[in-house]
Amino acid sequence: MEQQEKNAPNRELSFVTGGEVNIRQDPWWWLVVTVIAIIILLVMIAPFPFKDIVVFARDGVLVTILVTISSYFLMLILGLFGGLGRLSKNKLVFGISSLYVEIIRGIPLLVQLIAWYFASPVVIQKIGVWLNFAPLMYYRANPIITAIVAITVCYGAYMSEIVRSGIQSIPKGQMEAARSLGMSHFQAMRYVVLPQAFRVILPPMGNEFIALLKDSSLVSVVAVADITRKGREFMSAHFNPIETWLMVALLYLVLTLVAARVVSYIEKRSKRGS
């Protein structure tokens, strides 16, 4: 429910259906095959502009994948700590993590991206001047790194809430039994609570991956040459918006559909374990 606040259109579809790498057991793989076939067909039928777009956007696909995967894993780590912080008895830790979650979730990702890209270098430069420290004075933002930081911080806040509610869904008796056997709080978390919470948060974790993949298109506004930005560049050079955005959409679709299949496979497998 909380997730819908962020970016409603991205989140309406639940991608997790079927669930097997084997195409016979997970017919949704046919959809992936079909989309790829359409791309190949278009490229063969009309090399200009379709083949040119694909060639031009190829690096963009890699950038999109790089940004998505790195910020995804970083935000999982941040979300784990954020979620644990939200459950901490330490008032300071609880306060800081709650403030982080509430503030970040109240600001659109696009605004956060732009702020990180344009505002943070100025702040760092000012600090450099203040310290009279040359490397900081001439600091320039690296677009890809800045984008990864921005997405990590934003998604980390949502992930914190997913982790928190996942941990809270595990009955208190599990922790108590572990403590009554002499385990420390840390051991009880590590061996008893978190492994069970992990199974609960796996489905929302999968949805986050797909949402992040799509939201990564926003980095195109801060000079990151991802698929979307490549599409815009191609369109302004060749003036064929229909073909360009058809191809860009198809490229994203391949990525999201493949991701959805992998997510559903991982979920099925983890269920089998119990």
Which residues lie near other proteins (CB under 8 A)? 171, 173-174, 176-184, 187, 191-192, 195-196, 199, 274
Contact 163, 80 (CB under 8 A): yes
Which residue number, 70 or 168, has a Cβ lying nearer to other proteins? Answer: 168
Report the distance separating Cα 75 and Cα 82, nearest Å: 10
Q: Which is nearer to other proteins, 106 or 182 (CB)?
A: 182
Cis peptide before 195 (omega within 30 of 0): no
Residue reference for tokens 């489905």: 203
Q: Smallest gap, in angstroms, from Cβ of residue 188 to other proteins?
A: 9
CB closer to other proteins, 16 vs 193: 193
Please report where in the chains the tokens 């503030």 appear, as a residue: 103
Report the residue number, 147 or 192, with the smaller CB distance to other proteins.
192
H-type alpha helices, the chain: 4-11, 29-45, 52-86, 91-105, 109-114, 120-131, 134-137, 143-168, 172-180, 185-188, 194-215, 227-238, 241-272
Task: Compute the distance between CA of residue 232 and CA of residue 237 in angstroms, rounded to an integer.
Answer: 9
CB of 183 to other proteins, least distance (A): 6
Kindly state the smallest distance separating residue 81's Cβ from other proteins, in Å.
22
Min separation Cβ 97 and other proteins, Å: 23
Of 5 and 176, nearer to other proteins (C-beta) is: 176
Taking the complex as a whole, the smallest distance from the CB of residue 80 to other proteins amounts, in Å, to 18
